[in-house]
Amino acid sequence: MTNFTSLGLAEPLLRALATEGYETPTPIQLQAIPPAMEGRDLCGIAQTGTGKTAAFALPILHRLANNPAPRRKCAARVLVLAPTRELATQIAESFQSYARNLKISVMTVFGGVPIPRQERQLSSGVDVLVATPGRLLDLVDRRALMLGEVEVLVLDEADQMLDLGFIHSLKRIAAMLPRQRQSLFFSATMPKAIAELAGRFLVEPVQVAVAPVATTAERVEQYVTFCNQSEKQALLILTLRRPEFAKALVFTRTKHGADRVVRHLEGAGIRAAAIHGNKSQPQREKALAAFKQGVVGVLVATDIAARGIDIDAVSHVINFELPNVPEQYVHRIGRTARAGLDGIAMSFCADDERPYLKDIEKLTRNKIAVLPLPEGFLAAAAKLPKPVPVNDDREERGNRHDVGRHRDGARPYGDRNGRSHGGRPVESRPQGVRPDGSRPYAGRPQADRPIGDRPMGDRPQSDRPQADRMRDERTPHGTGRGAAGAPARNRFGGKPGQGRFGGGGNGGGRPRGQAVND
């Protein structure tokens, strides 16, 4: 039987693997580690939960252990790109576990964390940097990171990178990297767009595929239940009340939908938490930790946030809403049946989602078994709390017609018809004029007036337009020149007034379609 020792890994790595209890390589590890250790470029196709992280982390650490080098300021020897914060965190934790017996530094950078702190951490250099593309480019543009020293590049979950609109960022990052480097490329699926992306990054790569493209995990039992959209909330509650659903992951298509599901579950006495792009980084970490520790038994997630959720004991995946991109189904159900365990995936399908189901079955080449509604469902559902209306987003964004109302429906400061909540008309008067006709700052020198009351031409430096302030904040003493005398540049590396890619505008935008959550 092949074991990790036979692969020729460095002795400190073997000791770390023994501590972790790893003995036999998975198929993707067995096929990917040897060519990666030889320095070859590699394109690996494997589903989530098959051990992809170790397949690239172990040969990289073996390389660093055998070729030690001093760290260079604001530089990294290894760059690992991941689409989401959670996946980046998971990858970094794996690197740290395998490198426990090596003097190798590992760092993660992603959005939701103060960027000055990351700049300070990068100032002394790092061996392995795990990053999301958006924050990585922010650090590059702020000159806190240089990519010219990268020896190994890893793209993990490449298909999700494209789904999130990171293609422009990836092209820009690739242009900054040394031509002489090793590149490792991993994806769960291989559509045409992914093959084209691989061609841009890889040179004569070794192709590794441990399963047919776009097939789902063999150990996952898959079922679909047809129901009306309005019945899904009740069906979910009745399903999760069954004792075998000890730790379930529920997927929705939208962020607001995830929050709505959580509120309804908690109203029915089921402890749940949501994780999605609108949550702050501490909120996401807290929800994930509570789910791992069993404090909450249900985690409701969107497709983006679920990448990187690596929890071995997830017993069930429930598709509260079917994904409109069939490849996402593969990623979703891959959250269960991990580490050799079995898992069950259930999908709730409304009439308008049947085309999505058809696309999924076509992609996976698998006919999903139909599970009928439970016996006595209508009677049981009638006893449950009234569900939150489907496709009603007014709760999340606020009903604009009710803004400023008292509980009795009256408006405290008058309505559009010019009437106060007491029913009397409100006299119209110029802005800034008191009811008695006086002006609050009449007769006072302009220097004594609040900033907001000064004419535009008299505003102090701190109240100038944002573009001017940003330019001076980037240069010493507001001179408009860099430390070395070079012309000042905006946060995206261009001249003031240019966008990230040299176009017009104030440079504050991102390329069309690029993700902003991370």
The answer to whether 4-209 and 220-390 have equal CATH topology is yes
CATH classification code of 220-390: 3.40.50.300
More confident residue, 46 or 271: 271
More confident residue, 362 or 432: 362
Question: What is the mean pLDDT of the segment spanning 358-368?
Answer: 89
- Give all strands (DSSP E) within 61-205, no chain letters: 76-81, 106-109, 126-131, 152-155, 182-187
CA atoms of 513 and 166, how far apart (whole Å): 8
The closest alpha carbon to 107, from 139, 66, 141, belongs to 139
| Mean of per-residue pLDDT scores for the chain | 76
Percent of the chain with pLDDT over 70: 69
Residue 141 has pLDDT above 70, yes or no: yes
CA atoms of 183 and 205, how far apart (whole Å): 9
More confident residue, 278 or 441: 278
Question: What is the mean pLDDT of the segment spanning 71-88?
Answer: 93
Sequence ranges of the domains in the chain? 4-209, 220-390
CA atoms of 231 and 398, how far apart (whole Å): 25
More confident residue, 387 or 155: 155
- Give all strands (DSSP E) within 27-168, no chain letters: 42-45, 76-81, 106-109, 126-131, 152-155
> What Å distances lie between residue 489 and 225, 226, 312, 485, 486, CA to CA?
56, 57, 47, 12, 9
Each residue's pLDDT tens digit, 168-182:
899 899 999 999 999
The first and second tokens of residue 57, run together, are 């982390």
How confident is the model at residue 279, as a pLDDT?
A: 84
H or E segment at 347? Answer: strand 343-349
How confident is the model at residue 109, as a pLDDT?
A: 95
Residue 161 has pLDDT above 70, yes or no: yes
> What Å distances lie between residue 309 and 89, 154, 288, 298, CA to CA?
10, 19, 8, 13
H or E segment at 326? Answer: helix 326-333
Model confidence, pTM: 0.57
Three-class secondary structure of residue 343 per DSSP: strand
Classify domain 4-209 by CATH architecture.
3-Layer(aba) Sandwich (3.40)
Residue 454 has pLDDT above 70, yes or no: no
Please, what is the end-to-end C-alpha distance for the chain in angstroms?
42
Each residue's pLDDT tens digit, 26-36:
889 999 999 99
Residue 338 confidence class, pLDDT cut points 50, 70, 90: low
More confident residue, 309 or 93: 93
Residue 508 has pLDDT above 60, yes or no: no
Residue 343 confidence class, pLDDT cut points 50, 70, 90: confident
Residue 380 has pLDDT above 80, yes or no: yes
How confident is the model at residue 137, as a pLDDT?
A: 96
Residue 392 has pLDDT above 80, yes or no: no
Residue 201 confidence class, pLDDT cut points 50, 70, 90: confident
